[in-house]
Amino acid sequence: MCWRCDPGTGNPDLWAIEDLLQAQVQEHLARQKLRRRDILWLGAGLLALPAASWLQGCATVPVSGRSQLMLLTAEEESKMGVAAFAQLRDKEGERGRLLTEQQDPAAHAWVRRVSERIIGVSGLGTRYRWDYMIVDAPKTVNAAAIAGGRIIVYTGILPVARDDAGLATILGHEVGHVMARHTGERYSQDMLAGVAGAVAGIAGASAGVPGDLAAAVVGLGAQVGVLLPYSRKHESEADYIGLILMAKAGYDPREAVGLWQRMSQSGGGRPPEFLSTHPNPDTRIKDLEAWTPQAWQYYQDPARPLPNIR
């Protein structure tokens, strides 16, 4: 999941890893080979549920304790992340934008130092074989971490991070996405939305309504009414988990607000919040301020166990 992937941005770097992950998801769906009969069977089960039950599921998010729907195994999610990371690394290598340790040892030492501390307190240190890359893109203020233990940092975000606490805010947020398995949850939501659209198309065609029109109406409702709000929920949840992680790793959580103020100043126009995959910066800052007293407990007592960890 990436730090700053809002629709309408003109910089393709901001969507690079998202596009590659989506391609992995599409390949996975193609391997499932859902037929018309399968869609109708799944749709019947889906439509039998109350709408509020669609996105409640069988897993619990660490730290936040939220229930989530998960139709993807951790192994499948990890394979997608590792494959997308490898594709991005190859692409950036061909473009000559991979920043090597020989080229900038200080940047690599900085990213490695902070990421190791964040990963160390997350409980994911031994679950994945972590790897990272730094992309030399001074105009791209972005970073990402994805399932499988992969981190991408664009050099444009480093001046905004400014110091270890700022970078810990960013990487804590990103590792929070991985802890919460947001990639797998988004896949699950997309699958449900796709099934709902397919069912609407089949049912609409049977009733004399153009199938494409019926599917489009359902798709728009899912995008604005379900998927975008859940994307914002994921971002807020990653903010919350990341704040706890940075504090537990020994970074002052009060510094997170300063980082987001700098991020807000570095950004351009935004879409309305209800059409954005990320919360409004002001909303984010208010939430971080509200969560800081809880995070402070972990800063004072790093041995304090994280909640909802299995």
Segment 154-190, tens digit of pLDDT: 999 999 999 999 999 999 999 999 999 998 888 887 7
User: Quick one: 76 exposed, middle or buried, by C-beta within 10 A (0-12, 13-18, 19+)?
Assistant: middle
Report the pLDDT averaged over residues 200-220.
Answer: 43
Quick check: is 305 in a domain?
no
Q: Which amino acid is at 45?
A: G
- Of 70 and 51, the structure prediction assigns the larger pLDDT to 70
Q: Quick check: 232 and 104 in contact, CB under 8 A?
A: no
Domain that holds residue 239: 12-300
* Number of domains forming the structure of the chain: 1
Q: Which amino acid is at 193?
A: A
Quick check: is 208 in a domain?
yes
Look at the alpha carbons of 64, 193, 151, 140 in this order and tell me if their dihedral is positive or negative.
negative
User: What's residue 6's pLDDT?
Assistant: 52
Quick check: is 306 in a domain?
no
Quick check: is 7 in a domain?
no
Tens digits of per-residue pLDDT, 246-283? 999 999 999 999 999 998 887 644 433 333 456 778 88
Quick check: is 310 in a domain?
no
Q: What percent of the chain has pLDDT over 90?
A: 54
Active site residue 237: no
Tokens of 291: 């969560």
Model confidence, pTM: 0.79
Quick check: is 229 in a domain?
yes
Distances (CA, A) of 228 to 24, 30, 55, 225, 294: 20, 24, 13, 7, 27
User: What's residue 7's pLDDT?
Assistant: 45
Distances (CA, A) of 277 to 1, 14, 38: 11, 13, 30
SS3 84: helix
Q: How many CB atoms lie within 10 A of CB 118?
A: 28
User: What's residue 32's pLDDT?
Assistant: 61
Tens digits of per-residue pLDDT, 18-63? 788 878 877 776 666 544 444 444 555 554 544 444 444 578 999 9
- The overall average pLDDT reported for the chain is 79
pLDDT at 12 over 70: yes
User: Quick one: 282 exposed, middle or buried, by C-beta within 10 A (0-12, 13-18, 19+)?
Assistant: exposed
Q: Rounded distance, CA 224 to CA 122, Å?
A: 32
Q: Which of 306, 303, 309, 302 is nearest to 253 (CA)?
A: 302
Q: What size, in residues, is the chain?
A: 310
- Out of 7-16, 197-206, 239-248, 283-292, pick the least confident: 197-206
Q: Rounded distance, CA 288 to CA 260, Å?
A: 9
User: What's residue 277's pLDDT?
Assistant: 56
Quick check: is 234 in a domain?
yes
Catalytic hit among 18, 77, 92, 174: 174
Quick check: is 6 in a domain?
no
Tokens of 258: 């300063």
User: What's residue 37's pLDDT?
Assistant: 46
Q: Which helix (H) or strand (E) holds 222?
A: helix 211-222
Report the pLDDT averaged over residues 226-244.
Answer: 79
